[in-house]
């Protein structure tokens, strides 16, 4: 075991040494890999951020507007009745006066409302379904139940935007997957080509190693570590790019979100995301190096 | 130690390099393969070191029928054979120590043992004081001696050398020959391809003379 670890450690040191001896070339390769990894990672973070906001808003409130002649006492009785029902988290009574006051405060219609001789608004109930009763089927059933009350004029259920947002999120996910796959193949190709050039540059060394009895694994090992290190270095830079980009747009996004009354904020990469990114980078590097090494080293035949 | 029995070797381009050659080399023997360029000397060495397989016939090296050595077993087979080349084949960017240690490193020899054997091999070729030098800092003769040190460091049972004095002047050639004789006296088996007949005759060792891919004498 110690021998095995020692061989791998030697190969790792050798790979680190080779990368360090050509810092500019190493950096250029790593930057290309970083850009290819940063794009899908950034998209993924954006999708997750939007999904979080959408997740908080997926429990849709229903509003039941009563006929104008229905007295407040009846509305309060019906509200109490509704609170006993399963799948209801809370029911708030919005009196016609409260609604008018709210409209006067928040709406640009304040002046027009002031000109009216009396309050045109009805009493209403704002119903917040429980999280486990927020499926479209449950909501439709609740809507039907409320609509059946003779005192109720209208039941409003604004779930269309949630469905649209879900569709947009799904589309974003698919686009991210597509871009990620394409760029992942790109990373494989970049690392594969870099390793191919390394193999060609060290052709003589490989041949001599094979002549003195170096196994395929022994010859291949430093190249695999080189590939993995390229991937790792690229993913570290990619994490830096994503973090910097996130920090740069955080304030404008926050400002924009606030203007819409939204709590939307871009998520940071986090330890889990960083670990995933490093793992994916190293794995892509290792795979690219493996493909190149398997293909090109086997073609080298030592000559005497 | 080595047996060739009616061995043929035809290359993919159609050239027949060896034609029904047979010979035996015993353990502890030093044998010269002689003949002009293209006589088949290098082909014999390539068959011994498993760089090629015979088209027909039996090649038995170190008790193994080389036809039966699988591709994955070739590196382990080669670790039993020390090789010396006309052009030394040293790694220019690595120190003398690293060059000589290479066959020990690929054989996963422990570090302390590697250090001991490298020093012993360099001592044998008289270059222990150049252990940290780069090959480019050495003379041609010294480079060849480093190549020999690399071949003998793992203490192989068999050493093959392809024109080891081809680039050396007569004085250096004699030094290298003296080195080979000492290795033979220490019990190693050596197969040396050479067209330097003066040196071969001086050695007094057995010759296998090849011409046109056949053993003449």
Is B141 a member of any domain?
yes
A163-177 pLDDT, tens digit each? 777 788 889 889 989
Residues in chain B closer than 8 A to A210 (CB atoms): 75, 78
B98-116 pLDDT, tens digit each? 999 999 999 989 889 999 9
Give me the residue spans of the domains in chain A. 2-56+163-297, 61-157
Of B13, B69, B22, nearest to B44 by C-alpha is B22
Is B9 a member of any domain?
no
R_g (Cα) of chain B, nearest Å: 17
**Region A87-95: what's the mean pLDDT?**
91
Residue A218's CB is within 10 A of a number of other CB atoms, namely 18
Is B19 a member of any domain?
no
Structure tokens at B215: 């053993």
Q: Which of A11, A206, A213 to mutate to test the interface with B (most CBs of B within 10 A)?
A: A213
Any idea which residue has 């030098």 for tokens? Answer: B133
Residues in chain B closer than 8 A to A216 (CB atoms): 72, 75
**Phi, psi for A232 (deg, rounded to 5):** -65, -45
| DSSP tally for chain B: helices H, then strands E | 7, 10
Contacts of A217 (CB under 8 A, 6+ apart): none
Domain that holds residue B172: 30-53+72-215
d(CA A209, CA A270): 44
**Phi, psi for A209 (deg, rounded to 5):** -60, -40
Q: Which of A212, A297, A301 to mutate to test the interface with B (most CBs of B within 10 A)?
A: A212
Is B21 a member of any domain?
no
Residues in chain A closer than 8 A to B102 (CB atoms): 208-209, 212, 214
Is B110 a member of any domain?
yes
The answer to whether the Cβ–Cβ distance between B51 and A209 falls below 8 Å is no
Is B7 a member of any domain?
no
Residue A299 has pLDDT above 80, yes or no: no
Is B4 a member of any domain?
no
The pairs formed by B46-49 with CB atoms below 8 angstroms and a separation of 24 or more are B46/A304, B47/B4, B47/B7, B47/B9, B47/B18, B48/B2, B48/B81, B48/B158, B48/B160, B48/B191, B49/A211, B49/A304, B49/B78, B49/B81, B49/B83, B49/B160
A200-231 pLDDT, tens digit each? 988 989 999 999 999 888 999 999 999 999 99
Shortest distance, CA A203 to any CA of chain B (angstroms):
11
Any idea which residue has 């080293």 for tokens? Answer: A297
Q: Which residues pair with A128 in a beta bridge?
A: A90
**Cβ proximity of B189 and B159 under 8 Å:** yes
The answer to whether the Cβ–Cβ distance between B106 and A218 falls below 8 Å is yes
Q: What is the dihedral of CA A135, A139, A145, A151, to 10 degrees?
A: 160
Overall number of domains in chain B: 1
Residues in chain B closer than 8 A to A302 (CB atoms): 51
Label the pairing between strands B81-84 and B158-162.
Answer: parallel
B50-69 pLDDT, tens digit each? 999 999 999 999 999 998 89
- B91-100 residues labelled b (16+ CB within 10 A) or e (exposed): beebbbbbbb
Range list of H helices, chain B = 41-48, 74-78, 96-106, 111-124, 140-152, 170-185, 197-203
Write the DSSP string, B160-212: EEESTTTTS-HHHHHHHHHHHHHHHHTT-EEEEE---HHHHHHHT-EEEEEET
Residue A123 has pLDDT above 70, yes or no: yes
Is B89 a member of any domain?
yes
Residue A161's CB is within 10 A of a number of other CB atoms, namely 11
Burial class (CB in 10 A: 0-12, 13-18, 19+), B117: buried
pLDDT of residue A261: 66
Least confident of A108-112, A232-236, B2-6: A108-112
**Region A15-33: what's the mean pLDDT?**
91
How does residue A285 score in pLDDT terms, banded at 50, 70 and 90? very high
Angle at CA B153, nearest 5°, toward B151 and B155?
90
A61-157: CATH class: alpha beta
Residue B204: which CATH number? 3.40.50.300
d(CA B49, CA B6): 18
Nearest residue, CB atoms, A212 vs list B78, B110, B162:
B78
End-to-end Cα separation, chain B, in angstroms: 20
**Region A181-187: what's the mean pLDDT?**
93
What is the model's pTM? 0.74
């Amino acid at each position: 075991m110690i021998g095995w670890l020692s061989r791998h450690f030697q190969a790792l040191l050798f790979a680190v040494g080779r990368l360090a001896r050509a810092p500019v070339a190493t950096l250029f390769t790593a930057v290309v890999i970083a850009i290819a990894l940063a794009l899908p990672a950034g998209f993924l973070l954006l999708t997750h951020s939007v999904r979080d906001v959408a997740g908080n808003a997926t429990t849709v409130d229903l509003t039941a507007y009563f006929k104008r002649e229905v007295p407040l006492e009846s509305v309060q009785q019906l509200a109490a009745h509704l609170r006993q029902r399963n799948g209801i988290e809370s029911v708030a009574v919005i009196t016609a006066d409260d609604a008018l006051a709210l409209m006067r405060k928040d709406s640009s219609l304040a002046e027009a409302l002031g000109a009216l001789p009396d309050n045109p608004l009805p009493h209403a109930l704002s119903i917040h379904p429980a999280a486990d009763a927020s499926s479209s089927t449950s909501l439709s059933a609740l809507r039907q139940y409320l609509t059946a009350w003779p005192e109720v004029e209208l039941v409003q259920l604004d779930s269309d935007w949630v469905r649209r947002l879900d569709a947009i999120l799904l589309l974003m996910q698919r686009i991210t997957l597509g871009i990620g796959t394409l760029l992942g193949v790109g990373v494989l190709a970049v690392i594969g080509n870099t390793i191919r050039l390394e193999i060609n540059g060290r052709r003589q060394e490989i041949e001599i190693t094979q002549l003195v009895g170096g196994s395929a694994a022994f010859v291949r090992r430093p190249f695999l570590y080189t590939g993995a290190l390229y991937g790792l270095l690229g993913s570290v830079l990619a994490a830096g790019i994503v973090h910097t980009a996130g920090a740069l747009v955080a304030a404008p996004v926050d400002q924009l979100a606030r203007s819409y009354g939204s709590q939307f904020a871009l998520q940071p990469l986090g330890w889990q995301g960083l670990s995933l990114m490093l793992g994916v980078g190293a794995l892509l590097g290792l795979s690219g190096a493996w493909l190149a090494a398997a293909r090109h080293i086997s073609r080298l035949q030592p000559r005497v | 130690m080595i047996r060739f029995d009616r061995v043929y070797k035809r290359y993919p381009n159609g050239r027949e390099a060896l034609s029904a050659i047979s010979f035996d080399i015993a353990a502890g023997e030093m044998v010269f393969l002689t003949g002009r360029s293209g006589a088949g000397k290098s082909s014999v060495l390539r068959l011994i070191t498993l760089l090629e397989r015979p088209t027909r016939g039996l090649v038995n090296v170190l008790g193994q029928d080389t036809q039966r050595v699988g591709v994955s077993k070739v590196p382990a087979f080669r670790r039993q054979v020390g090789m010396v080349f006309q052009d030394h084949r040293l790694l220019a960017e690595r120190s003398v120590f690293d060059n000589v240690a290479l066959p020990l490193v690929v054989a996963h020899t422990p570090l302390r043992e590697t250090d001991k054997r490298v020093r012993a091999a360099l001592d044998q070729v008289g270059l222990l004081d150049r252990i940290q030098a780069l090959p480019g800092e050495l003379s041609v003769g010294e480079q060849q001696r480093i190549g020999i040190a690399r071949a003998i460091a793992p203490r192989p049972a068999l050493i093959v050398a392809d024109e080891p004095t081809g680039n050396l002047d007569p004085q250096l050639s004699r030094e290298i020959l003296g080195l080979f004789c000492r290795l033979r006296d220490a019990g190693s088996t050596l197969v040396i391809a050479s067209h330097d007949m003066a040196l071969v005759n001086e050695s007094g060792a057995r010759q296998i003379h090849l011409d046109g891919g056949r053993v003449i004498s």
